[in-house]
Homo-oligomer: A and B are copies of this chain.
Amino acid sequence: MYSFKNDYSEGAHPRILEALMKTNMEQTIGYGLDEYSGKAKELIQSLVGNTNANVHFLVGGTQTNQTALAAFLKPYQAAIAAETGHINVHETGAIEATGHKVVTAKTADGKLTPSLIKEVLEFHTDEHMVQPKLVYISNSTELGTVYSKDELEKLSDFCKEYDLYLYLDGARLGAALVSEKNDLTLKDIASLTDAFYIGGTKNGALFGEALVIIKEELKKDFRYMIKRHGGMFAKGRILGIQFLELFKDNLYYNLAEHADQMSMKLKEALQEKGYQFASDSYTNLQFPIMTNEEIARLEESFRFELIEKIDEDKSVIRLVTSFATTKEGVEEFIKKL
């Protein structure tokens, strides 16, 4: 049964495993202080155009969000997120576990805007309420949408004006950066946000996320926070080696491009057949609306998530493609529509 359930159904791109194999019996220092991790950090600093950026490799996305927000916020401060934001919905309270409220704004496309954030700020007036301090966005979003350069610039300006941190969850940053709707670069993101992470898990790594901290005041003692949250990886070089490989010969972008292309193929076929979509995505997630009957039929041959009931007859499903999605899988799905 072919799976469009998520972008982590397979292992890693073969080059990742080969890189691990090649270096396997070398001795290195632990905890990310090895030479490979060092080189990978430098490479990422150069890719984001900021040699002062702090780069930390963590194992997964929730861990990265939790550790970063716990480090950046004072106890009484809150993160502002879209109601659909991963930290609000799908992290089992990992942010609250560190003592911070997530306050939310309703948004149809999963994206935040200055005016949505302003409403949140105006509601929080004094010390009887939490103090919103960090704006959490994801790119691409949980709905597959992407921020344009203009949108991110406006958010960035707004955050500076209101003394808010801007944090970008890049679990699917690859898929965003190669989307046909994208006009952002890694360098833009590094100059417009205070911290962000480059997702590996969902773009061909075995696992791993590269957190990039730009703002000076957020850098101090971050390794203490990683350890405190159980995220200090003993054989840290495994993360470094993977990111070195991902950013060699454009591999990271190529893998994301493949994922997006497979997704757009699905989208176009679905559009041709007249399906409506719950979100207009140009990345590796598609959200077609289908009758329960159609869904049941497709479930006989494919795995995917059921996202939301629209009414008694119709629901939204989510189709996810990845670096490993095969043309055959996509074509078979299209045939079965």
Contacts and interface: CB of A to CB of B under 8 A. Distances in A.
Interface of A: 2-3, 5-6, 8-12, 14, 17, 20-21, 23-31, 59-67, 70-71, 74-76, 78, 89-94, 96-102, 127-131, 201-202, 206-207, 221, 223-235, 237-238, 303, 324
Nearest to A59: B59
Contacts of A12: 24
Given A9-B28, A227-B127, A227-B128, A234 B201 contact: yes
Contacts of A62: 227, 230, 232
Most buried by B among A10, A28, A127, A324: A127
B90 A129 contact: yes
Nearest to A89: B129
A20 to B, nearest CB: 6
Contacts of A30: 5-6, 8-9
A322 to B, nearest CB: 10
Copies of this protein chain in the complex? 4
Given A10-B25, A201-B234, A232-B60, A96 B94 contact: no
Nearest to A65: B230
A230 B209 CA distance: 13
Contacts of A67: 230
B27 A20 contact: no
A235 to B, nearest CB: 5
A34 B215 CA distance: 39
A70 B26 CA distance: 36
A130 B60 contact: no
Contact of A235 (B70, B201, B231): B201
A75 B233 contact: no
29 contacts: A5-B30, A8-B30, A9-B30, A10-B26, A11-B238, A17-B24, A21-B21, A61-B234, A62-B230, A65-B230, A66-B230, A75-B97, A75-B98, A75-B225, A76-B225, A76-B227, A91-B228, A92-B130, A92-B227, A93-B228, A98-B99, A127-B223, A128-B227, A131-B224, A201-B234, A206-B235, A206-B238, A207-B234, A230-B231
A17 B14 contact: no
Contacts of A129: 89-90, 92
B94 A230 contact: yes
